A and B are shown apart, each in its own frame.
Chain A
Amino acid sequence: MSRHTVDDLQAIADAIVAMAEPGEQIEANVARSRETDIRVYNGDLEHFVSAQSQGISVRVIKDGRTGSSHAGTLDEVAWREVLAEARENATLGSVDEWAGLAEPDGVAIVEQELWDDTLDAFDTAKKIEIAKELERAAVGADPRVRIDDSNYSDGATEEAFATTMGIRSSGRSNSCYASVSVMADDAGETQTGWAYALGKNPAEFDLGKAGVEAANKATGLLGAVKPPSKRTTVVLDPMVTAQFLGIIGSTLNGESVVKGRSLFANRLGEAVASPLITLVDDPTDSRAYTASEIDSEGLAARRNVLIKDGVLQMFVHSSYSARRAGTKSTGNAVGGGVGCLALQLTPGTKTQEELIADIEEGVLIQSVQGLHSGVNPISGDFSTGASGVMIRNGKVAEPIREFTIASTLQRMLLDVLAIGNDVDWLPMRAAGVSMVIADVTMSGA
């Protein structure tokens, strides 16, 4: 964020930090954002949301105690109150010898292109037209398809950050997407599908492709049956793999490790996954949707190899968890905690079709439901609702739905048989790629 500065917000952040008293650490975040949210239904504009918001959040650490406060306005009365509240809150916590802000570590920021002028200047009427065109593309793809909703969204944020440790930065970012959700009906049965179009600005959207993808997802499930229960090999679609990697990432969180909540504590240097697995968290890769320049403590975001050829290499840390673990921050502070920023697996050489061709009987998992309710990253239990397609003799066969797939996170990592070459830079904190996993329990009829 070094090329563009947001001077008025930086001035507020600096002013808050300048109020620090002896022995007091202060971190200030000041942001201003605007958003547009458009929904179209049956050719009509259903809603148009146009809004601006702003906010200040302050963290104060004194004598090993941490307090924070936030407010949704930028005026000086508000930020003085926020600082006073954060100070009061900091008298109430426990003394934690490891509490503290991040110290500058000299790691250079890898600049990212987070702002697009074309998007910033994009005409409002054309945004509505995009949502309408996407609706037409989806509904026109198949006579059995009707619309649920078609959407266009964009947002722009300016932010400034300052701490008493001397970290200062400001910058701006904007992004946009269009999404469509459809239903397909046949013989009294209804199935759903959705898809989105991404780009730095709307001119990069492939609306036709997104429309057809949503329609195909819905029509592909028509006539789906509930499969019998059995152990089987599954192929995860890139989106499902990305969701799975998000959970794996949470088990490699250094704060969970120091607090005794990680499955993989004490496993550094051991084979925790199939040798095919090399998992990297790399927010400096500009292809990643969540590419970023700094973490939430203001340290440079960086490339970290978490698992190499199946062997666990490291955990990700904020300055707090690093201090506790006797190591250095890996630039992975997220919100008030620790997290991976932009995960990716090293891809294999085969297309999804080629992966399927190698499988005599199995299931292609196209979507999962209930990851929040059936996966426990502490015990490792993994159970999720799913829909997809049966694989027979190396080819996709009938669609199936209303079943679950289950295993444990530990076993799934070890049971990976192959990874595809179809990397998809999804709008998530992990890139997707097809992945084949053996010996998963499918529960159905």
Chain B
Amino acid sequence: MSLIDLSHEFDSSVLSRVLAKGRSTGAGFSEVFIEDKRSMGASLDDGLVEQVSSGRDSGAGIRVINGETTGFAYTADLSEAGLLAAAGAAAAAASSGDGGTHTVSLGTAKRHPVNTVRIAPQSVPKARKVELLMIANDAARGIDSSIVQVSAGYSDATRRILIANSDGVFATDEQVRTIFRVSAVANGDAGMQTGYDSLGHTIGFELFEEENINELAERAARQAVTKLRARPAPSGALQVVIKCGSGGVLFHEACGHGLEADLVARGASVYANRVGDQVASPLVTLVDDGTMSREWGAIGIDDEGHESQRNVLIKDGVLTDYMWDHIRAGKEGRAPSGNGRRQSYEHLPMVRMTNTFVLNGKEEPDDIVRATEYGVYVAKLGGGQVNTASGDFVFGMTEAYLIENGQITEPLRESNLIGNGPQVLSDIDMLGNDFAMGNPGMCGKDGQGVPVGDGQPTLRVKSLTIGGTAA
């Protein structure tokens, strides 16, 4: 089962006919999104490689926009007849009844060359991928006799996409992602604790030449072992220092989602109508950048066929722009920003982040800790969730320590932190010079997951509510 070469398989005359069919009920815009995705995964648990799996998902989504209405249909049938049937269904769904014939000539769009895959995952014997799992298992178990369980997962996906639309856009891309995860359980007198780490990039199997699986597994195991002596996290508002490369999710939740133009247009964001305003501490410059080679959220083109871009969203604390997709940019008469993404051909695109990060400040990271009398040092954040309309957001800390008298001291048990986006952004009072990207993430919105990256230097928030149990 090899991947389809999409641009050869689908010639422009077929695509033109499908696009014309999409507009046959009077719509102003039609779009074909074709996807062919191959994936492979293997998982280890309890010392055994439990299951090796692989899959192939290919199909097309046809979108037709007629005024305020979007019609959408998808199909796994990639024959011309299948595509035309889906286009007919999408057209009927967005029908305005005035009919007509619309033809279009397709040009080829630019794509940002972010995918410099050296070793295609399909070219690597599956047995080599499975071997990595055993290496991780041995490395994690070797850390300490308290490690009682280890699980590890390998997966890769090669996704080819083709987008053609009635504005004349014709674009293709190949996105290759490879990821490895390790989790460990340690057992001690006070019960069990867990550790987790992951490694993922928009590259092929060379990931494992460039990065060390042993170290990844050891970090996960050490995290679990360290937490065996963790005390309950504090309860209440404290100063919080977040280690570089571990807290990008804070910005993803505190303001990233709120800067998505679809939510802004609905008035469902605390950042609506705030361009030009000081929305964050002057220390903060926030960027969303789909062009960052290798990073987990990197894309050559977005899922609407637009070249990926680097977009500055907040500069020195001032809101400069939102993120845009085809529909929202069209309404504002501006260019899209390369943020129209979708989970698969079965989904409608919407405004999504790519790699979202805060640029370096000037402080030495050690000075930030030293300047903190009493607070929490977060070495690893877990996931988060935001209500963009109110701005309230939570995120979990999976590895954290107490800071006492400017020193990192005891480990803390897991808990959530809670804050309000605009308040937390303005409460950032120290920013380090040690920028790092964080772990690969999967961002969920409206039921769709897409891969995203995040990053930041070490920073301090002068007050965040820690949801622990200790007084």
User: Residues of A with Cβ closer than 8 Å to B?
Assistant: 41, 44-54, 66-73, 81, 85, 88-90, 92-94, 96, 146, 148-149, 183, 189-192, 221, 226, 229, 259-261, 263, 336, 369-370, 372-374, 376, 378-381, 383-385, 387, 401-408, 441-445
Contacts and interface: CB of A to CB of B under 8 A. Distances in A.
Given A44-B69, A183-B389, A373-B382, A71 B394 contact: no
Nearest to A402: B392
B51 A93 contact: yes
A260 B149 contact: yes
B126 A383 contact: no
Nearest to A372: B383
A49 B414 contact: no
A155 to B, nearest CB: 12
B435 interface: no
Given A53-B346, A183-B268, A374 B394 contact: yes
Contacts of A380: 191
A261 B235 contact: no
Interface stretch (B42-50, B114-122, B162-170, B213-221): B42-50
Contacts of A443: 235-236, 418, 465-468
B90 to A, nearest CB: 8
Contact of B194 (A229, A374, A376, A408): A376
Which of B50, B69, B194, B415 gathers most chain A CB within 10 Å?
A: B415
Contacts of B387: 192, 369
Contacts of B416: 370, 373-374, 383-385, 404, 406
Given A183-B267, A226-B465, A384-B416, 6 more contacts: A47-B70, A53-B59, A85-B54, A190-B270, A373-B396, A408-B469
Ranked 7 nearest A-B pairs via Cβ: A404-B467, A373-B396, A374-B416, A370-B394, A385-B394, A383-B415, A48-B93
13 contacts: A48-B70, A48-B71, A50-B90, A69-B53, A72-B57, A72-B58, A88-B126, A89-B53, A190-B390, A259-B45, A379-B191, A405-B467, A445-B236
B148 interface: yes
Contact of B149 (A85, A261, A387): A261
Interface residues of B, number: 80
Residue of A48, A66, A229, A443 most packed against chain B (CB within 10 A): A443
B384 interface: yes
A263 B413 CA distance: 16
A370 B389 contact: no
Contacts of B1: 81, 85
B193 interface: yes
A263 B90 CA distance: 50
B68 interface: yes
A66 B50 CA distance: 7
Contacts of B266: 41, 148-149
A191 B467 contact: no
A383 B233 contact: yes
B394 A369 contact: yes
Nearest to A226: B465
Contacts of A51: 72-75, 346
Contacts, number: 255
Q: Is the interface of A mostly helix, strand, loop or mixed?
A: strand
A51 B469 CA distance: 48
A407 B75 CA distance: 47
With most chain B CB atoms within 10 A of its CB, the pick from A226, A336, A378, A383 is A383
A374 B52 contact: no
A259 B45 CA distance: 8
B467 A374 contact: yes
B385 interface: yes
B28 interface: no
Nearest to A401: B392
B109 interface: no
A71 B55 contact: yes
Contact of A336 (B51, B148, B268, B396): B51
Nearest to A221: B390
Contacts of A370: 383-385, 394-396, 416, 418
B89 interface: yes
Given A50-B73, A378-B192, A383-B415, A148 B465 contact: no
Contacts of A379: 191-194, 227, 413-414
A229 B53 contact: no
A403 B267 contact: no
Interface string B85-99: 000011001100000
